[in-house]
Amino acid sequence: MKKIINICLILLLTLSFSCTDSLEEVNVDPNTFPSAGDPQVLSAAIAYMGYIVDQDLNYEESMLWSQYYTWGIGVSIGNEERYVSAGGDFNGYWQRAYANCLTDLNYITKNSSSAAYRGIANVLKAYLFQGLVDHFGDIPFTEAISGAIEDGSILTPNSDSAEAVIYPGLVAMLDEALSDLALAEDDVVGEDDFIYQGDASKWIKFANSLKLRVLMRTSEVNAQGSAVQALISNGTFIETVDDMPFIPFSGSTGDQNPMFARAEFGVGMFYFASNASLNLLESLNDPRAEVLYTKATTGTFAGNLRGIDQGTIDDEPFTAPASDYSMASEYAYSATNPAILMSPWEVWFLRAEADARYNTSDDAETAFTTAIELNFDYMEVDDAASYISSLNFAGATTLDDKLDLIGIQKWISLNGTQEDEGWIETRRFDRPASRIFTDGIFQTPPLSVLPSGSFPAAWLYPESERSLNPNALPQRQITDAIFWDN
């Protein structure tokens, strides 16, 4: 019996090796790529970015800490509303940014032979790294995503100085992207680019706009006037909704806006309009209030907007229906809402501020007006001209007066689409010369663990990073300001 088995094995081996194909050729599946190409890697990175932007960033902490919303009824008040944070709260954002998005994008910038793909990937890398810096401060940058053998096998990266290393590095990264995009080949990138479908001219506008954001972010601590002047004079920017970079969602199962999907997976969107936001909108007679928030449909306030003071849900009747209050509208909360990376109104506000501070080739009043008009148009609100006239930007005679107007209108305009950027900009515009948010607009939640008038300024380092990386920085307090925030 053993002889028969041995003979059969010998015959099988003989037949195998007598074939013209080698073992390597036989084991290649013609229907499977041995490794992912640029299109597959880029589309995966962009898909993860959609989740990061509208779930990890715009939802919960940023939505509450920007004081667009406050905790709703029916459940115990959450830690976010009380400014209680733990490092584990931010594990997901850190992991998805580094291990998913940045790893994919870094693969493209290091390996792609296409200038178009490299340029796009570097723009998105700069976007992600700036987000990490603006929430955490000093982070791994030069040694980040270098775990592969060819990259040095750095599995426990050190952090870099946000001010001295990372922010200048972001400018260099965007300049590299702009150089590649200027050489980008036509018809190389297509539908795998969910944002611009490979339109290099729009990616250049995005890169310049993001570079302007980076340069302007440090204006209160490290003015970049000459660099801003040169950029405004020579660059093209996101100027209209047609230029706007966003990640679309159809609303069908598996392709819903991440904020909507995450909330509906749980108890739904139960946050109420914060009076910090509503009071200001109503004091300005701002018609956008009725687009940002729903009107109460029951109770004594039926047919009207009704918010509550920040963090005071425990003072409301526990059995009161949510319909007694104003909540997020479909403009702010919908299965089909896109994840907006940068809006044209954000960019025009940056240009208004740039001219006010540095006397660029723009006109501050025109840029300020254009920003508000574009936001009104996007929200389908009429008569922007009358509203803008009531603000009297021309009557602002000092830089601080102009900055106050820009900061407040920017905060309003980012509501519903870029809540996280709204929170970031409240920290920057709340400056020593004018504490417009922390000493005027914002309300201290009664159950806050911070002193009255004190508000979060940063996110805690993720517990996963501090547990797994011996070179991770010591934990901070949420009141520790990022370097550009004073």
157-204 pLDDT tens trace: 999 999 999 999 999 999 999 999 999 988 899 999 999 999 999 999
Q: Give the Cα separation of 285 and 295 in Å (integer).
A: 16
302-352 tens-digit pLDDT: 999 999 999 999 999 988 999 999 999 999 999 999 999 999 999 999 999
Q: Give the Cα separation of 349 and 418 in Å (integer).
A: 14
Other beta carbons within 10 angstroms of residue 174's beta carbon come to 26
Domain residue ranges in the chain? 38-253+339-441+457-468, 258-280+294-324
Structure confidence at residue 77 (pLDDT): 81
Phi, psi for residue 448 in degrees, rounded to 5: -60, 140
Structure confidence at residue 259 (pLDDT): 95
Residue 33 has pLDDT above 80, yes or no: no
End-to-end Cα separation, the chain, in angstroms: 86
Q: Give the Cα separation of 281 and 384 in Å (integer).
A: 14
Structure confidence at residue 147 (pLDDT): 84
What would the two tokens of residue 412 be? 């309003």
Residues belonging to the chain = 486
pLDDT band at 35 (very low <50, low <70, confident <90, very high): low
Residue 130 has pLDDT above 60, yes or no: yes
pLDDT band at 466 (very low <50, low <70, confident <90, very high): very high
Determine if the pTM surpasses 0.85.
yes
Average pLDDT, the chain: 92
Residue 10 has pLDDT above 70, yes or no: no
263-299 tens-digit pLDDT: 998 888 889 999 999 999 999 999 999 999 999 999 9
205-250 tens-digit pLDDT: 999 999 999 999 999 999 999 999 999 999 999 999 999 999 999 9
Structure confidence at residue 151 (pLDDT): 82
Residue 412 has pLDDT above 80, yes or no: yes
H/E/C letters for each residue in the chain? CHHHHHHHHHHHHHHHHHCCCCHHHHCCCCCCCCCCCHHHHHHHHHHHHHHHHHHHHCCCHHHHHCCCEECCCCCCCCHHHHCCCCHHHHHHHHHHHHHHHHHHHHHHHHHCCCHHHHHHHHHHHHHHHHHHHHHHCCECCCCCCECCHHHCCECCCCCECHHHHHHHHHHHHHHHHHHHHHCCCCCCCCCCCCCCCCCHHHHHHHHHHHHHHHHHHCCCCCCCHHHHHHHHHHCCCCCCHHHCCEECCCCCCCCCCHHHHHHHHCCCCCCEEEHHHHHHHHHCCCCCHHHHECCCCCCCCCCCCCCECCCCHHHCCCCCCHHHCCEECCCCCCCCCCEECCCHHHHHHHHHHHHHHHCCCCCHHHHHHHHHHHHHHHHCCCCHHHHHHHHCHHHCCCHHHHHHHHHHHHHHHHCCCCHHHHHHHHHHHCECCECCHHHHHCCCCCCCCCCCCCCCCCCCCCHHHHHHCCCCCCCCCCCCCCCCCC
Residue with tokens 């980008």: 184
| Average pLDDT rounded to a whole number, residues 440-448 | 96
Structure confidence at residue 149 (pLDDT): 83
Highest mean pLDDT among 24-33, 72-81, 212-221: 212-221
Q: Give the Cα separation of 119 and 208 in Å (integer).
A: 12
Whether 479 and 457 have beta carbons less than 8 Å apart is answered as yes
- Find out if CATH 3.30.930.10 is the number for domain 38-253+339-441+457-468: no
Q: Which residue has the higher pLDDT, 148 or 158?
A: 158
| Average pLDDT rounded to a whole number, residues 404-411 | 98
Residue 29 has pLDDT above 90, yes or no: no
